[in-house]
Amino acid sequence: MTPISVLVLSSSPAHRARISQLLAGLPDLDVVALTGNVSEAFMAAEAREPHLVIVSDEFRDLTEFSAMKSLFYVLNARWIFVAGGGGRPVHQVPGSGGRLVDEPVLDLAMAPQQALAAIRVALTITRNMTQNAPPPRRMEPKTAFERMVVIGSSTGGVDALMTVLSEYPEDCPPTAIVQHTGKGFSDSLIRLLERRCKPQVVAAQDGLVLKQGMVCIAAGTAGHLTVTPGQTLRCELRPGPPVSGHVPSVDALFQSVVPIAPRVVGVILTGMGQDGAAGLLDLRRGGSFTIGQDEATSVVYGMPRAAWEMGAVQMRLPINRIGGEILKASLALSSQPRSASSLVAR
């Protein structure tokens, strides 16, 4: 029987040692990494592709942990929380349902035999869930897209971006993205999206020429991603104070392409706050086609709500329809814009 590989994430060395000691009593199990922070755990998970991740519940509400959850989906891995002090209720892992379990199944205040029993339940339903998704099929024909795409996202945005970009062909329209996330996560996010997407996914950098077939992402960068229009689309990372409360800022990206608004598709996805709403409105007024994620599929309906209420959004859609609509709009530069009232997904 293939051993189940397990990764442990806890900031406490004592807790890591305690979990490791408990796991040592179980057969057919391989602890591949003991990690102390989300960034370290992300890199270890990428490298070792564990079947099960045991996570201290101190990380539950961190924004950075959303990227970890997205990686678990890609790896087809199960994850469980572990409580540290006995103050939270302990829930058994359900025998059916999805791959993710978002309630504690283990409390370190338990007696050893109780803790082992809880771990065994999680391991039992982790078996036979080790197959990764096949690599995406590459598309050969080239399509002459007439528009570039700018996208802004925040809380819940990693999953949303994976859903949108999974619709992209290899020769997608040139796309620039700002994703609010913690510092140091840009490279990890790039690698995560590369696993799932057909186009080339690259980190934002000064002087990068944004071409068809390329997705450029700024996440946790020290400057604002902007795109300088011309015969070529050239990316810049511009130092400066926060815009709409953020560096990098969605508004800064959107504002940079207002001079070529008719050749732009602007998209705002799930996120907290209002970053991107004013910039999207300027894009729409300039002739861009604009899309906003709907409330039902948003993890946080803050940024898309602000844009919708401001009148910046032409088409409001569930996340699973946005990728296809971006592609249609990118081809349709010469078509007449439809009325805003007809573009709301019912």
Q: Where in the chain are the domains?
A: 4-124, 148-343
**More confident site: 118 or 129:** 118
- CA angle at 300 for the pair 295 and 306, rounded to the nearest 5°: 70
CA–CA separation, 135 and 5 (whole Å): 22
Looking at residue 313, the DSSP 8-state letter turns out to be -
Question: How high is the pLDDT of residue 115?
Answer: 67
pLDDT tens readout for residues 303-314: 999 999 999 999
Contact 291, 318 (CB under 8 A): no
Assess whether pLDDT exceeds 70 at residue 126: no
Rounded Cα gap, residues 202 and 169, in angstroms: 16
Q: 342 pLDDT exceeds 70?
A: no
Contact yes or no for 44/68 (Cβ under 8 A)? no
Q: Which residues are known catalytic residues?
A: 154, 180, 275
4-124 shares its CATH topology with 148-343: yes
Of residues 336 and 313, the one with the higher pLDDT is: 313
Average pLDDT over residues 53-58: 86
User: What is the pLDDT, as a whole number, of residue 105?
Assistant: 63
Count of H helices and E strands in the chain? Answer: 10, 15
**Which pLDDT value is given to residue 20?**
86
Can you give the pLDDT at residue 249? 96
For residue 20, which of 32, 28, 11 has the smallest C-alpha distance? 32
CATH H superfamily, domain 148-343: Methylesterase CheB, C-terminal domain (3.40.50.180)
| CATH number, span 4-124 | 3.40.50.2300
pLDDT digits (tens, 9 = 90+) for 285-335: 999 999 999 999 998 999 999 999 999 999 999 999 999 999 999 987 644
Distances from the Cα of 171 to the Cα of 119, 165, 167, 195, 218, angstroms: 45, 12, 11, 16, 20
Q: What is the per-residue pLDDT for 195?
A: 78
User: Tokens 């620039």 appear where?
Assistant: 176
Which residue has 């840009």 as its token pair? 186
In this predicted structure, the answer to whether residue 129 has a pLDDT above a threshold of 60 is: no
Number of Cβ within a 10 Å radius of residue 222: 10
Amino acid letter, 299: V
Which position has the higher pLDDT, 324 or 196?
324
Better-predicted residue by pLDDT, 146 or 28: 146
- Whether the predicted pLDDT of 255 surpasses 90: yes
Secondary structure of residue 177 in the 3-state scheme? strand
36: CB partners within 8 A, 6+ apart: 9, 10, 11, 13, 16
How high is the mean pLDDT of the chain?
Answer: 81
pTM of the model: 0.70
Cβ(139)–Cβ(198) below 8 Å: yes
- How many beta carbons lie within 10 A of that of residue 10, not counting itself? 26
What DSSP designation does 344 have? Answer: B
Residues 171 and 173: their CA atoms lie apart, in Å, by: 7
